[in-house]
């Protein structure tokens, strides 16, 4: 999973046939098929069957398919989980994960299926490292709206009230090899604001951005992909370092900067990610 692109992860209502069909033609890296917030209570049972049929029909290519269920303490959660076992998807997304015990409860239903955790509660942030260490957990999705509500924060520049929570989850994910997807940007018509927040998340180290509208996809894909300049630099660093090693030197110099082995690890990861994006057949 290290090099698999997760630049964009788009929420799609599991109850809407039209949206489920449209998703087949979008250039997203992952789809978050939603049975929770995007589905009204009186549609939740029917949504399972609508989504199951759409996934059975296929057509989603190499997009990573994640189904978000309702929380297990709701009247729909456990039945959602059992139904997802019969869906053609890659992973299941559990809302409001507070501790590894919540993951354990889901494992009892879905067995070896890969689990993603919504990190959207104060307790979940406090326990982020333990959640990321759970052997069934493959990814985090930050639920910044719910988290902001529970923390009683106010909107501020550069998401300052949420920075600790974002970084705590990110540190936990990186420590345990878990994919980390940043939270949504609500103003889907504000392209400049989305681009700025995507760049912030990318610079922090997130693997991609969760999205609420197809219009946000291209901006997220561009922000979380290596630029041509980064790819060129990575290639030159590797070439220079190889030459230095042949000459018996432990470091190289590129553009006036020292290049050591740690920089080569990053450079190779950059090229691997670029190759993976190029190979992804949308």
pLDDT by residue, tens only, the chain of 282 residues: 667 999 999 999 999 999 999 999 999 999 999 999 999 999 999 999 999 999 999 999 999 999 999 999 999 999 999 999 999 999 999 999 999 999 999 999 999 999 999 999 999 999 999 999 999 999 999 999 999 999 999 989 899 999 999 999 999 999 999 999 999 999 999 999 999 999 999 999 999 999 999 999 999 999 999 999 999 999 999 999 999 999 999 999 999 999 999 999 999 999 999 999 998 854
- The DSSP secondary-structure symbol of 33 reads E
pLDDT at residue 3, rounded to an integer: 74
pLDDT at residue 111, rounded to an integer: 98
**Widest distance between CA atoms in the chain:** 70
pLDDT at residue 174, rounded to an integer: 97
Give Cα separations from 20 to 15, 25, 26, 48, 95 (angstroms). 8, 10, 11, 13, 21
Q: Where are the domains of the chain?
A: 8-223, 228-279
Helix residue ranges per DSSP H, 162-260: 163-175, 191-204, 217-223, 228-246
Fold observed for domain 8-223 = TIM Barrel (3.20.20)
- The DSSP secondary-structure symbol of 227 reads P
pLDDT at residue 280, rounded to an integer: 84
Question: Whole-angstrom Cα distance, residue 264 to residue 159?
Answer: 32
DSSP codes, 30-52: EEEEESSTTS-GGGHHHHHHHHH
């Amino acid at each position: 999973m290290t090099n698999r692109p997760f630049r964009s992860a788009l929420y799609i209502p599991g109850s809407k046939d039209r949206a489920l069909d449209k998703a087949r033609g979008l250039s997203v890296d992952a789809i978050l098929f939603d049975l929770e917030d995007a589905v009204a209570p009186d549609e939740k049972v029917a949504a399972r069957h609508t989504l199951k049929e759409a996934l059975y029909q296929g057509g989603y290519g190499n997009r990573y398919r994640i189904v978000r269920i309702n929380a297990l303490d709701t009247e729909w959660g456990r039945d959602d989980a059992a139904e997802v076992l019969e869906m053609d998807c890659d992973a299941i997304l559990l809302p409001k994960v507070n501790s590894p015990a919540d993951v354990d409860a889901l494992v009892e239903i879905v067995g070896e299926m890969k689990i993603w955790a919504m990190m959207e509660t104060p307790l979940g942030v406090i326990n982020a490292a333990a959640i990321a260490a759970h052997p069934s957990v493959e990814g985090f999705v930050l639920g910044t709206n719910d988290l902001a509500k529970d923390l009683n924060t106010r909107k501020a520049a550069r998401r300052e009230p949420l920075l600790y929570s974002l970084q705590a989850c990110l540190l936990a994910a990186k420590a345990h090899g878990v994919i980390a997807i940043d939270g949504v940007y609500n103003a889907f018509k504000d392209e400049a604001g989305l681009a700025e927040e995507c760049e912030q998340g990318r610079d922090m180290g997130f693997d991609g951005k969760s999205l609420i509208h197809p219009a946000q996809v291209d901006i997220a894909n561009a922000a979380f992909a290596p630029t041509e300049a980064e790819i060129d630099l990575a290639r030159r660093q590797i070439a220079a370092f190889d030459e230095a090693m042949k000459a018996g030197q432990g470091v190289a110099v590129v553009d006036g900067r020292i290049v050591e082995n740690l920089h080569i690890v990053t450079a190779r990861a950059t090229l691997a990610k670029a190759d993976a994006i190029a190979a992804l057949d949308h």
